[in-house]
């Protein structure tokens, strides 16, 4: 599989390295905040996968295949969220395991004698298998843990965390980090205000007695 440059996202972060960039781009093919969808129909899915050399352009795709592909995409987003401290949904694992079965992933050895996962299935099943194989390889080389989904639940954009201690939580501090910090600050102020108001009311009641 040829290396693909993924979408660096709203923060203009560097994309994930190597084949993991295709996984990142696949997750980000849906912008949850704007509602933009790159894979709106089977033809667009075919063009997307073929453009990244994950399948041949002349292979057919159905609506059912599109639905399965979108389920795999959101399951991968769940995995990226788990890399950012979110509880992992068991249903996402079931989706990915089914996709791995459909892809018929097997171990192959390259010319240097190094093993890798490759799909035996053709078409979209094989293409999705190549994305799962990229996740497997990234887990082995330590890069997978750095692919995260933004903690802003309305965003969930996949970004590659290049910080030394793997501490990045948002796709960008300017867009999501400051927004969520502002929400938390306002919530704390409201909580403090409510406590003070309640305390003042109790004091006035005691004074009236």
Q: How confident is the model at residue 199 (pLDDT cuts 50, 70, 90)?
A: low
Q: How far is CA 173 from CA 12, 152, 179, 187, in A?
A: 12, 11, 8, 19
Q: How confident is the model at residue 135 (pLDDT cuts 50, 70, 90)?
A: very high
pLDDT at 192: 46
pLDDT at 178: 60
pLDDT at 174: 72
At 85-133, the pLDDT tens digits run: 999 999 999 999 999 999 999 999 999 999 999 999 999 999 999 999 9
pLDDT at 26: 99
Q: Is 86 exposed, middle or buried (0-12, 13-18, 19+ CB in 10 A)?
A: middle
Query: What residues form DSSP beta bridges with 108?
Result: 116
Q: How confident is the model at residue 194 (pLDDT cuts 50, 70, 90)?
A: very low
Q: How confident is the model at residue 12 (pLDDT cuts 50, 70, 90)?
A: low
Beta strands in 73-191 (DSSP E): 105-109, 115-119, 147-149, 158-160
Residue 148 CB neighbour total at 10 angstroms: 25
Q: Which of 9-23, 27-41, 171-185 has the lowest mean pLDDT?
A: 171-185
Tokens of 102: 């459909």
pLDDT at 185: 41
pLDDT at 172: 82
Three-state DSSP class for 140?
A: helix
Domains of the chain by start residue, with CATH: 20-171 (1.10.3300.10)
At 17-73, the pLDDT tens digits run: 999 999 999 999 999 999 999 999 999 999 999 999 999 999 999 999 999 999 999
Helix count and strand count (H, E) for the chain: 6, 4
pTM, full prediction = 0.80
Cβ(88)–Cβ(76) below 8 Å: no
Q: Please state the rounded mean pLDDT for residues 143-152.
A: 96
pLDDT at 182: 47
């Amino acid at each position: 599989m040829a290396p693909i440059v993924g979408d660096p996202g709203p923060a203009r972060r560097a994309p994930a390295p190597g084949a993991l960039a295709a996984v990142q781009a696949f997750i980000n093919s849906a912008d949850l905040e704007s509602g933009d969808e790159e894979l709106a129909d089977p033809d667009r899915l075919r063009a997307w996968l073929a453009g990244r050399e994950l399948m041949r352009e002349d292979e057919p795709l159905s609506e059912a295949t599109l639905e399965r592909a979108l389920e795999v995409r959101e399951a991968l987003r769940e995995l990226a969220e788990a890399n950012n401290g979110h509880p992992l949904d068991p249903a996402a694992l079931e989706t990915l395991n089914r996709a791995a079965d459909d892809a018929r992933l097997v171990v192959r050895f390259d010319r240097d004698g190094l093993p890798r996962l490759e799909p035996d299935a053709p078409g979209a099943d094989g293409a999705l298998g190549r994305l799962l194989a990229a996740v497997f390889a990234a887990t082995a080389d330590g890069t997978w843990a750095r692919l995260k989904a933004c903690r802003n639940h309305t965003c969930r954009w996949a970004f590659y965390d290049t910080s030394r201690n793997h501490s990045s939580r948002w796709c960008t501090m300017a867009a999501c980090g400051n927004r969520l910090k502002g929400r938390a600050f306002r919530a704390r102020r409201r909580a403090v205000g409510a406590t003070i108001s309640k305390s003042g009311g109790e004091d006035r009641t005691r004074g009236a007695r």
